A and B are shown apart, each in its own frame.
Chain A
Amino acid sequence: MTDMEKERNLKYTVITDKGVTVCGRVLEHNHTGSAMLTEIYRAQLGDWPKFFKMDTLSKVGYLASELLLKELGERRLEGEEYASDRAIVLFGTTASLCADRNYQETIQDSDNYYPSPALFVYTLPNIVTGEIAIRNHYRGETSFYVLDGYDTGSMAFHLQCAFQDDVTESLLAGWVDSTDNDDFRCFFTLMDRADASDLKGLENELKGIMDNLK
């Protein structure tokens, strides 16, 4: 396929606390919020028990990435196969606020003080990039950027910048926010160098995708 024939629109998955869309296809579910995440995981994936120990931000990002890669028919690297040419670059406004609040509850009262390493580790937003890298054997760049608002111009710019690492051939890119266990918004897409070459075009595409999160 030449660049001219290449489909212009990015394929993407969207997850909010109200529903899940995979490349335009709406998935059925009976629950909303955190219960929906478990329901979708069981119905669509069910092959990675580590999912259950993840915090909300990681669960949402993990589901969105897995559903996207599955829909696109990506072959999973297994065993000793690893790839350094795929980076994971994520954005958001809340960072790990959901995990931060959950952890703060464990240290708020001296009578009920039980800081947990299992909760604390998720108080870093880039943990979701690590979870996805582990699942997919990606040894490329992993980055998490926090912005002050839905800023598709900055996103497009920093995504284009990521391709300055000349080992990086493709990006698993997205947006993920969560303020509490039942409040989250996320999209994931897969893009190559050509997708990031036209900054204005990329920004417009991201704008269209981000409208799904509002």
Chain B
Amino acid sequence: MARVIQCIADNVVSPLGRTSMENYVNVKAGCSGLARFEEMDRVSSPFMLSRIDRYVMDELCIGLDIPDGKYTFFEKMLLTSSIQAVRKAGIDPSSDRVLFIISTTKGNVSLLDRDVKGFPQERVLLGKSASMVSRYFGNPNAPVVVCNACISGVCAQIEAMRALQSGRYDYAVVTGADEQSPFIISGFLSFKALTDTPCRPFDKDRTGLNLGECAATVVLKASDAPACGWVLEGGAIRNDANHISGPSRTGEGSYLALMEVLRKCGREGLAFVNVHGTATAYNDEMESIALYRAGLIDVPVTGLKGYYGHTMGAAGIMESILSMYAVQDGTVLATRGYAEQGVTYPVNVSPENRPAHGNRFIKLLSGFGGCNAALSYAYYS
């Protein structure tokens, strides 16, 4: 019989808080971490960013006894979130029954900048950062980094579920983060994907995405007991096979991933779909098509980019965690920035918090490389 995969602890570190609950309360109250920047180093065009204050991060590190000078900002993001989540879970992270999985797109890429000093160049390798984290916890297993562009956070949870189902591990610590350096910001600017105003997911006047910084962790546990609490019930990853930097016009990969999740988990009790909702013209249009084709167009949707921007490696994890809090709170969170329907197939989206009905949600993401991923969590009391 398949094992039950429960989420037993979580954490979100972001400009909106140091714990998941702080983040949830602030999002529900309508707060956003987004601020306008006129420039950053050699990036001279204005952009919006939800940025973690470096002093706040250092303070958090001191509070958690993370040694000073040993870790990069990216690694501090991973550690502050994973340490809090592991403590909350009350597990022994040094056990060989625990696997660490890291979700990131660019890790320590800022170290490639010749003006950035203080750390050896080899730390730009993602596996090195992952090993820094697993070694911090004294974990004996080889950690794995999931590097699937913007869908990494959902993929990392799917991979954790599989690793636990295999029977080799009993716990998986899944942590995602990305530092927003000039490398990433200049790249998205060159793509003309960024807007210098707060993003407007699914709105008719949406003009592009905002970037953000966040670290998020879920601790998953495999058990043979009947399902209770938050249970990760299924997930799927599918490719559009269409274009490396633009989504499919028919939402093919997202549609296929959604259909596979619905096949595994059913539609019963589905409170909402937490979408990617980057507020680019193409992404939101594509998602509306995929939702329509999957028969989900009437289900409430909610997007969190107006509060956090696109947090890349953290997005799939943080957005899953806030969705768990929202379902338990009986709330479909407002899609901040949305005002007027701006996609071909009108999605069930709102600028206000709404009551949620159901014990389940779907998290949907898509990314460069034509990749798409969806997963479903359900709550059993």
Interface set of A (CB-CB < 8 Å, partner B): 82, 84, 88, 93-95, 97, 100-101, 103-104, 107-110, 113, 115-117, 120-121, 123-127, 129-131, 133-134, 136-149, 151, 153-154, 157-158, 160-162, 164-165, 167
Partner of B244, one of A134, A143, A165: A134
Contact with A along B96-130 (1 / 0, CB 8 A): 00000000011001001110000000001111101
- Nearest residue (CB) in B for A125 is B147
- Nearest residue (CB) in A for B189 is A115
- Nearest residue (CB) in B for A137 is B241
Enumerate the 5 nearest inter-chain pairs by beta-carbon distance, A residue then B residue, closest first. A148-B127, A130-B369, A120-B187, A161-B162, A146-B145
| B contact residues around A133 at 8 Å (CB) | 239-241, 370
Q: A100-B112, A120-B191, A148-B131 are in contact. Are A126 and B371 (CB under 8 A)?
A: yes
Contact of B368 with A by CB under 8 A = yes
| A contact residues around B113 at 8 Å (CB) | 104, 108
* A142 to B370 alpha-carbon distance, docked (Å): 9
* A125 to B125 alpha-carbon distance, docked (Å): 12
Q: Are A117 and B144 in contact (CB under 8 A)?
A: no
| A contact residues around B240 at 8 Å (CB) | 133, 139
Contact of B155 with A by CB under 8 A = yes
| B contact residues around A148 at 8 Å (CB) | 125, 127-128, 130-131, 142-143
* A110 to B182 alpha-carbon distance, docked (Å): 12
Contact with A along B238-269 (1 / 0, CB 8 A): 11111111000000110010001000000000
| B contact residues around A137 at 8 Å (CB) | 241
Contact with A along B359-371 (1 / 0, CB 8 A): 0000000011111
Q: Are B142 and A113 in contact (CB under 8 A)?
A: no
Partner of A95, one of B126, B131, B253: B126
13 A-B residue pairings within 8 Å (CB atoms): A82-B241, A88-B239, A100-B124, A115-B187, A120-B190, A123-B106, A126-B147, A127-B244, A130-B370, A133-B240, A142-B371, A143-B155, A165-B260
